[in-house]
A and B are shown apart, each in its own frame.
Chain A
Amino acid sequence: MTTVAVKPATMAQALTRALRDAMAADPAVHVMGEDVGTLGGVFRVTDGLAKEFGETRCTDTPLAEAGILGTAVGMAMYGLRPVVEMQFDAFAYPAFEQLISHVSRMRNRTRGRMPLPITVRVPYGGGIGGVEHHSDSSEAYYMATPGLHVVTPATVADAYGLLRRAIASDDPVVFLEPKRLYWSKDTWNPEQPTDVEPIGRAVVRRTGRSATLITYGPSVPVCLEAAEAAQAEGWDLEVVDLRSLVPFDDDTVCASVRRTGRAVVVHESGGFGGPGGEIAARVTERCFHHLEAPVLRVAGFDIPYPPPMLERHHLPGVDRILDAVARLQWEAEG
């Protein structure tokens, strides 16, 4: 029996491959954004696409996010499948009006006659030493807008599979790419990329019996590390990677919490008004009689994203997660 040597690939490479395969499979797929053509994107995710497919399929646009998304709306109206790159999380804000007033609601407004199959790729989150406006976790804004799917991968294989799913979706998808995982590596065979489940399915990354860590995107590896460290304390933690914030996979999350009886939600986004509040409420409403302790949140502080030399104090780390786990009323029964 021969085994194919599978080299480690980065998440960025998997994303590039997903774009390339999507463009090869469907001539309607157009990539557009700032610096995505000749340069290949500031994170090189669109590297080589303009060369392979031409500049009309992978287009350097003027520097104007509302214009990029607004013209993508018109292109989608005419049957194209635009994949838009917002260069950084905080640079996507000028496009909010297009996203909220048109992209999210065009299908509903027109009773399904004018769906907009647009993928909006947004590099997000901190941990890369970025200066101001380069490290925001903006997912709560997108989650609060009906009509959008909000998807974020945490592994190399998911990055490929979920982006292919997002581009193939007939609905608009905000595809949040965890910047600090762009260079994370995993064994992954680009010649045989595996499909993932449809958008909206969470996955249990690590099984455990003591408590569930509910997380997504850049916080998944942190939670897995925390789970390993927790073993020394005698806790066997389960880690659920949501993969999709909208639609939300209540079934997978609640099945896990019902098994473990305890839950902590972990994300970089601020806690107040952040995704964790919604998740904690959903879990409490559905699993109240299985819970041994209140659902806790470990989140970024409710502050503007800090300067890079201080960001490590802001980002949820292993210690802060374990401290939260310790507060899950282990001694309270009796």
Chain B
Amino acid sequence: MDEITSVFVTESREQIAALESALLQLENSPRDDDTLNAIFRSAHTIKGGAGVIECGYIVAFTHVVENLLDRLREHAINADADLIALLLGCADHIGNLLGVLESGAAGPDANLAADGDALLARLQRDWLSDEGSRAGLPSVAPVQLEASGGGAVESDCWHISVRFGADVLRNGMDPLSFLRYLGSIGHIVHLETLADAMPEAAEMDPETCYLGFEISFASGADKAAIERVFDFVRDECTLNILPPHSRLSDYIALINTLPEDSMRLGEILVRIGALTQGELEDGLRQQTAVPADEVESATAPAAAPQPIGEILVERKVVQSELVDAAIARQKQVTEKKAAEARLIRIQADKLDRLIDLVGELVIAGASVNLLAGRTGVGELIEATSLTGRLVESIRDAALQLRMVQIGETFNRFHRVVRDTSREMGKEIELSVSGGDTELDKSMVEKIGDPLMHLVRNAMDHGLELPAVREASGKPARGRLELNAFHDSGSIVIEVADDGAGLNRERILAKAVERGLVQPGQSLSDAEVYNLIFEPGFSTAEKVTNISGRGVGMDVVRRNIQGLRGSVDVSSEPGKGSRFAIRLPLTLAIIDGFLVGVGNAAYVIPLDSVVECIELGVDGSVRDYVNLRGEVLPLVRLRQLFGMAGEPPGRQNVVVVQYAGNKSGIVVDQLMGEFQTVIKPLGNLFRNIRGIGGSTILGSGEVALILDVQALVQRCASREAQRAEGADAGRALLAAAAT
């Protein structure tokens, strides 16, 4: 695929997304002009682009859609649910066609083509047909135009009408040469020279050009190419180009625009074969009938002479409706220029390379800092600290480049929710919040699928049918929430529903059946709920095509873990369930907190650090301390990693927090803040719990990055086990007592 095509595909996909969201908006406000215009623009841009890359089948399809949108925009028809559903189907189809283009196939296969035809037939039958037979309407001619297949020569011609400005001859430009050049890009079928503008002999200035031409021109060139012929005299001539199969009203409008007498022009048009006599009479009759007549034929102008401004406006109207690639192309160029000012498209790997380099810079900077500190030269230290600060800013800026808002990902779900809820006969309202929360671009891409699965799952299994909901005293309309927010160095994405909630008993029964847990094993609610993430686990009574094949949740969890994230579920019977995905903000560089145990250095992600305290005497014997009235479980790194040597007299506790749980990490030394470039551990160490990666210190030594999530969870589960052990013990005692 060449570059222009790939740019077209990318941009068109964006346009389709915009189109889709605008269509969904339209559902709520069917007569909103802004929305209607936005929809039209999107479709128009896609069509224009397709014309530029000469992708006939996309132009053909989009064109009919555009016609319909145009009628919508003029309020000639109203958008109802059916039409919106149909248009959404059309947007999907355009997406599929883009896929075909991307795959490099010559055209859509039979199935896809049949789908497209079916959609077009519905559009035509239900929304365009009553107008189809009349000449002044957009629907008829364009379809034929596309039938020509990418602008291949056909018997019907472009009509070019040009009036040269008075000074062209004097400026050394001879109309003859333009017309001859025109002949080189196509075939001049018929040319009429008009000298009507030439005054009486006495006033005639032989150096002034008075000529105009009506040309019938057969060519496979597009409009832009034809216009380019006249580029040099563009400012000095009046140029009108009508594509093949233009509407009669366009010709009439042209006749009215031109300075010559309209009857004479009409005859000329007939003579050069642009119009038939019948069409001309028809057109002129229509024209005189206009004032009394319809609203929609905006292009047919009043018969009376018009002020020039009106003519110009009118001409614009006519142009905007023309079926041509050229205008769209020009528009695209200007639009693209405007967009380029705001956005630069760059390849992701260039960005990755930049971030890699910044990572190396951070490491090198740390080393410089360390060495400068050793020299004890004040000025040097000052200079390096300044560099350090700049490096930090560069790092932040570089990482910021990769950050995108999650809102776009969320918005995709409006459509999914809408379609799925219809399919299932449920009423579901999607509410999105926190769309402006930013996270790494690579993560946004990867989070889409798991999120989709959770959403579908919630709609399919979570939310009940309206009747069931009403029976249990809830509003018939189910509510699905998507939410995102930042929380201590992570981003949390929540999918929540107010449905039936998870069925603890059924999950447990299933788990026992699958041998995931032993019968009689006592599990906390959270543990039971999290069983749904085990491979091959599905409690859906029936398999639907939405979800429930039992291949989902474990894949969801694996995908999320692949991003160094985690997923949790909480649920309340009858009230609904909430899935929380927790992801690290970035994958590459973090602010770390450097601590020392024995000779080794460890890095704790600074975002998860709450505070540092000194380990008191009581903490040295127990595995928890009293932190202002709270029980803080301790993790002793020395024990955890089995390190030799005696702890120093004074140990410190770094209080960390993850997903609402706090724990204390007991270390020997606090060494302060440290910018950390995360280097992944090799495959060999992949299964080590508690270590998230490694980094290189300024001194060249390696420090391990602690996986706070794993450590905190380890603490939490140990606590839970202990508590349950106590419970079980009490239960035994109780049983023994009875």
Q: Say if A and B assemble together.
A: no
Residues of A within 8 A of B (CB): none
Binding site for A on B (CB under 8 A): none
